[in-house]
């Protein structure tokens, strides 16, 4: 999620450590995108329609996008009672859609497909191309949301449409939730609303979501696919100091800016304890073996013994690995003073925390207070009652089909379980007891393909391969 949040690392966070020469030798070379099949051409029309429906918070409408996707599903054969649009009177443009595709076995719990249809803001004057016009250049599709998350959202809609047209009867009921608000902290969030108000509508044994994905070497070779199994929880804390102020010609020791600066330096120097989940231990073990060298050996040693300080010192040199091992908090915004010629009466900073699964906002706030050691620094969460992140199990009923189908579409490419250091809407679904897995999907280049930035793009071959992979994966998991 972004907005005022730091950019999430949805597709590539757990892949960076694997970009090595030894892995590149395992990957298949790039191949040109062949002429589109008729079914791919039909999908492209759906993808283009969703992309070109502006769903930014400032000027777009998720409600309109959801209605267009509902129309696509209805045209494919879904009935009105299988399509449940939702919104609230306070947020009429932030609506979404739940689609229900019935299974043949009432005793089998449903499968939930989750995707958000809102996108990060994009200013036309900053982009080389219109961000809300899908443009194809050099084997890539350029547009805001080309990857995040309209690639997955459009694939899920297309999958149900294809099932309906083919008359496919899965064993499990398949549910699709297209939601708004994932990209903006504090905005109305459709996944959160569904979890709190319509738990029955999205009830499922497990959910498939964004967060996984592939990474290339930047030269057309796919190095790895990841299966996201768990993520950190996002929380912002406001740190505030206050003084009487006065004339700047007569300084005094008590200064709100100095007091806050001292506190922030202590936050910067503080390290949360190292901890592992089932997912991160598997990642450090498997990825460490594949990476090799000093860092790879240290990753394996640390997974075996978290108290190994020598191994930790090596691993912590990598910012991504460092973040996978603990809760992290970092200062991101500062606002202080009120006049050039006056002592500051108030200073405020935002500290952004990404909390390890199982850790609460309360204990994170307490750790910050202890590290600062100054009761004069007020600490408060900006958003209260956020859910605690939880890690779903490495369930072979999920991981088995994920890996088996991946071997067909990504031959020779390893699938690594990973924990996201960022955040998705999976945290809200997981909080009500539905395990969420970020499945392998489109691949991106080392630069992230402009996700959340300028000129976002996706390789056409990656998009259509992910479409075929996810279609077969849903079939395998739905029965």
What does pLDDT average to in each consecutive run of 10 residues of the chain (479 residues)?
A: 36 42 40 86 98 98 98 98 97 98 97 98 97 97 98 98 98 98 91 97 98 94 95 95 97 97 98 97 94 97 98 97 98 98 98 96 98 98 90 95 98 95 92 97 95 97 98 97
Of the candidates 43, 429, 409, the residue with the CA atom closest to the CA atom of residue 228: 429
Q: What's the CATH number for 16-232+389-478? A: 3.40.630.10
Q: What's the CATH number for 233-381? A: 3.30.70.360
Q: In whole angstroms, what is the distance from residue 16 CA to residue 190 CA?
A: 31
Q: In angstroms, how far is CA 407 from the centroid of its own chain?
A: 24
Range(s) within the chain of domains with CATH label 3.30.70.360: 233-381
Range(s) within the chain of domains with CATH label 3.40.630.10: 16-232+389-478
Sign (positive or negative) of CA dihedral 411, 414, 419, 423: negative
pLDDT of residue 185: 79
Q: What is the DSSP letter of 449?
A: G
Is there a contact between 286 and 224 (Cβ–Cβ < 8 Å)? no
Q: Kindly provide the b/e burial profile for residues 151-181, where b requires at least 16 CB atoms within 10 angstroms of the residue's own CB.
A: bbbbbbbbbbbbbbeeeeebebbbbbbbbbb
Instruction: Kindly tell me the burial class for residue 215, based on how many C-beta atoms sit within 10 Å of its own C-beta (0-12, 13-18, 19 or more).
Output: buried
Helix or strand holding residue 350 (H, E): strand 346-355
Residue with tokens 């708004």: 180
What lies within 8 Å, CB to CB, of 417 at 6+ separation is: 226, 227, 228, 229, 279, 282, 283, 286, 394, 399
Of the candidates 474, 325, 291, 313, the residue with the CA atom closest to the CA atom of residue 398: 474
Q: In whole angstroms, what is the distance from residue 157 CA to residue 172 CA?
A: 17
- How far CA 445 is from CA of 80, 286, 370, 403, 454, in Å, comes to 40, 22, 41, 22, 15
pLDDT of residue 26: 39
Supply φ then ψ for residue 53, to 5 degrees. Answer: -95, 110
Q: In whole angstroms, what is the distance from residue 34 CA to residue 334 CA?
A: 51
Q: What is the pTM of this model?
A: 0.90
**Left if phi > 0, otherwise alpha if psi is -120 to 50, otherwise beta: which for 373?**
left
Residues facing 175 on adjacent strands: 100, 112
Residue with tokens 């964004």: 210
Alpha helix (H) residue ranges in 316-359: 319-324
Is there a contact between 394 and 282 (Cβ–Cβ < 8 Å)? yes
Pairing of strands 135-137, 140-142: antiparallel
Is there a contact between 131 and 52 (Cβ–Cβ < 8 Å)? no
Pairing of strands 246-247, 328-336: unpaired
pLDDT of residue 30: 53
Strands, E, within 356-414: which ranges?
378-381
Preceding peptide of 413 cis, ω within 30°: no
pLDDT of residue 33: 77
Q: What is the DSSP letter of 184?
A: B
Q: In whole angstroms, what is the distance from residue 174 CA to residue 103 CA?
A: 7
């Amino acid at each position: 999620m972004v907005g005022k949040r730091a950019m999430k690392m949805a597709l590539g966070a757990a892949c960076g450590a694997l970009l090595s020469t030894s892995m590149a030798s395992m990957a298949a070379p790039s191949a040109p995108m062949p002429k589109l099949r008729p079914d791919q051409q039909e999908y492209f029309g759906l993808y283009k329609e969703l992309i070109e429906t502006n769903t930014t918070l400032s000027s777009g409408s998720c409600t309109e996008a959801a209605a267009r996707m509902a129309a696509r599903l209805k045209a494919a054969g879904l009935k009105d009672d299988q399509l449940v649009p939702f919104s609230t009177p306070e947020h009429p443009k932030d609506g979404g859609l739940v689609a229900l595709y019935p299974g043949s076995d009432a005793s089998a719990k449903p499968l939930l497909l989750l995707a958000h249809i809102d996108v990060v803001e994009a200013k036309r004057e900053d982009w080389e191309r219109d961000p809300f016009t899908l443009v194809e250049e050099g084997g890539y599709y350029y547009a805001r949301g080309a990857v995040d998350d309209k690639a997955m959202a459009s694939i899920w809609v297309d999958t149900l449409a294809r099932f309906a047209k083919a008359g496919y009867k899965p064993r499990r009921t398949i549910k699709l939730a297209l939601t708004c608000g994932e990209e903006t902290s504090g905005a109305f969030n459709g996944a959160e609303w569904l979890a709190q108000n319509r738990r029955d509508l999205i009830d499922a044994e497990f959910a498939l979501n964004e967060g996984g994905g592939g990474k290339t070497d930047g030269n057309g070779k796919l190095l790895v696919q990841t299966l996201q199994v768990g993520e950190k929880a996002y929380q912002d804390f406001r740190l505030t100091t206050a003084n009487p102020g006065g004339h700047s010609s007569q300084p005094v020791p008590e200064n709100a800016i100095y007091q806050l600066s001292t506190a922030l330096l202590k936050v910067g120097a503080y390290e949360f304890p190292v901890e592992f989940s089932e997912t991160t231990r598997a990642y450090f073990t498997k990825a460490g073996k594949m990476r090799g060298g000093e860092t790879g050996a240290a990753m394996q040693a640390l997974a075996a013994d978290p108290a190994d300080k020598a191994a930790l010192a090596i691993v912590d040199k990598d910012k991504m690995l460092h973040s996978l091992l603990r809760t992290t908090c970092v200062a991101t915004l500062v606002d202080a003073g009120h006049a050039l010629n006056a002592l500051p009466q108030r200073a405020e900073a935002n500290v952004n925390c990404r909390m390890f699964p199982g850790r609460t906002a309360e204990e994170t706030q307490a750790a910050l207070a202890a590290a600062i050691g100054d009761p004069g620094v007020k600490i408060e969460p900006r958003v209260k009652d956020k859910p605690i992140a939880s890690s779903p199990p490495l369930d072979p009923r999920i991981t088995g089909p994920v890996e088996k189908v991946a071997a067909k579409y990504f031959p020779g490419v390893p699938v690594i379980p990973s924990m996201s250091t960022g955040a998705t809407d999976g945290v809200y679904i997981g909080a009500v007891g539905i395990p969420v897995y970020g499945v392998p999907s489109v691949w991106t280049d080392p630069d992230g393909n402009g996700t959340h930035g300028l000129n976002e793009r996706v390789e056409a071959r990656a998009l259509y391969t992910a479409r075929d992979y996810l279609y077969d994966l849903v079939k395998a998991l739905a029965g």
